[in-house]
Structure 1
Amino acid sequence: MNTLPYRSTIKSKPFLYNETYKVAELYATGFSEEVIKKEVIHQNLFQVKTEQRKREITTTVLKRLKTLDTFLINKIVTTDIHTSKLITLYAILKTDRLFFEFMHEIFREKLTVHEPVLEDRDFNAFFEAKRQQSEVVANWKEYTFYKLKQVYLRILTDAGLLNNSSEREIQIPLLHPDVLDYMRNAEDTRYIDAIIGKGAR
């Protein structure tokens, strides 16, 4: 995971659950990546106005889905909504280093010690630590961190891990047991630990 560079592009490409679901459906039907690209762009499946935005979203969603195998891609389409969204989150963690580190170092710890609220100080401490650790992150403007915080909160809310209120209360992840067991047997369990807490079942 540490081989990925730090990026802030998630600001403009957040959860994208509906888009991910639509592409997963095409994958599950047996379409190739090239056919999927054509379908998405020509049919405007994402209902966006510009050609550039169509391509940006398509590239992002395909990059995320490439981190999943056939079992998990199919589960996005066939399982319950809570599990489907958490698989989408799992794929985001595998493609965005900074967000993964936030989930692994902050969110997972909150679950582990049963602290039910995400606070401003959690974000401030995390971003300050990353400034100290990375010259790339240190050069980002303050507005970038503000936007990242907003996007992280929105992703977690959309994924069902935060309640939709100002309290930012953490919700217990609801993963189908079959999918959880499958992820637990993966080669690298850090990603699922970041979502449900270390060692949780």
Structure 2
Amino acid sequence: MSETQNTSPYKGSGQLTREQFLFYEMRTTAKLMVEGLDDGEVTKRIVEDNLFQYPTEKSLASISKACIARLYALGDRDLMTAITTQPMDTAKQICLYAMMKRYRLVWDFMLTVIGEKYRLQEFSFGKKDINIFFMQIQEQDDFVSAWSDSTIKKIRQVLIKILVENGYLDHIKSEHLNPVLLSSVLENGIRNNNDERVLPAFNCFM
């Protein structure tokens, strides 16, 4: 039985079409939150100082709120701090985990497509893999089945860019999945959150 639009776990995932991976924005927002600013103060600082270098205040406010939501989704203050202090590769992995925690679609994609490929040691990757993923969730979920082709195309592009940003793919047209190495900082955070089931998405099976 398919999920209705009101109960869909993918509700909100359509925002990915305009949000992207946002590493620089996530790191900037995390620094302000770690400094102790509340949510309103964080957004105000980002907008007033144009910390994201965006053209409009509306986009600054919207993306700052998206970053705040992802950071809260981590459920781990230490991981939030690590985004601001750890090397870029580690910080990016944590941002990916935050994105997975925030958006069920990213979680499912990373686990059922990428994690499964690592489990089977199948390193080929292409549009077919993403298309099958979307076909499967469209069959199961009325909310996703109502998405337009253009929305799915945009989200597919976002997913591929996420993989490139985090070293899974060398470039957007790559057809080979790289064997990534999970940061020990993130692994500890994942285990502390009792999210071990997501470890395969980071090529970790211990």
CA deviation vs aligned residue, 1:88-136 (integer Å, no higher than 9, x gap): 0000001111121111111100111111132121111111111110111
Relative to structure 1, the CA distance from residue 168 to residue 29 in structure 2 (aligned partners, 3 Å threshold; closer, same or farther) is: farther
Equivalent pairs: percent with the same residue? 28
* Counterpart check, 1:21 vs 2:35: no
What runs of 5+ residues in structure 1 fail to find an aligned partner? none
Specify the alignment match of 2:195 in structure 1.
188
The DSSP-based 3-state class of the residue aligned with 2:19 is coil
Change (3 A) 1:102 1:179: closer
Aligned to 1:200: 205
* Residues 118, 200 of structure 2: 8 Å contact kept: no
Which of 93, 106, 113 pairs up with 1:106?
113
Q: Note if 1:166 corresponds to 2:173.
A: yes
* TM-score where L is the length of structure 1: 0.90
- Give, in whole Å, the separation in 1 of the partners of 2:47 and 2:31: 15
2:73 maps to amino acid: T
AA at the equivalent of 1:55 = A
1:76 partnered with 2:83:
yes
* Paired residue type of 2:110: M
Q: Which residue does 2:3 correspond to in 1?
A: none
The code of the aligned residue for 1:4 comes to: P
Distance (whole Å) between structure 2 residues aligned to residue 165 and residue 101 of structure 1: 20
| SS, match of residue 8 in structure 1 | helix
Does the 8 Å CA contact 2:92/2:166 hold for their aligned counterparts? Answer: yes
Query: Which residue, out of 152, 163, 168, partners 1:156?
Result: 163
Q: Give the secondary-structure state (helix, strand or coil) at the position aligned to 1:66.
A: helix
Tell me which residue corresponds to 1:46: 52
Indicate which of 118, 124, 146 corresponds to 1:117: 124
Q: How many residues in Structure 1 have an aligned counterpart in Structure 2? A: 198
- Residues 83 and 175 of structure 1: CA distance in aligned 2, closer, same or farther (over 3 Å): farther
Residue 200 of structure 1, CA deviation? 2.1
Deviation at 1:167, TM superposition (A): 2.2
Distance apart, 1:18 and its partner CA: 0.1
Alpha-carbon distance change, 165 to 12 in structure 1, aligned in 2, over 3 angstroms: closer
- Matched residue type, 1:52: K
Partner of 2:147: 140
- Residues 173 and 195, structure 1, Cα contact 8 Å, conserved in 2: no
Aligned to 1:4: 9
Aligned partners of 2:205 and 2:200: how far apart in 1?
A: 10
1:58 to 58, 64, 75: 64
Q: Please name the residue that 1:90 is paired with.
A: 97
Please list every run of 5 or more consecutive structure 2 residues that lacks an aligned counterpart in the other structure: 1-6
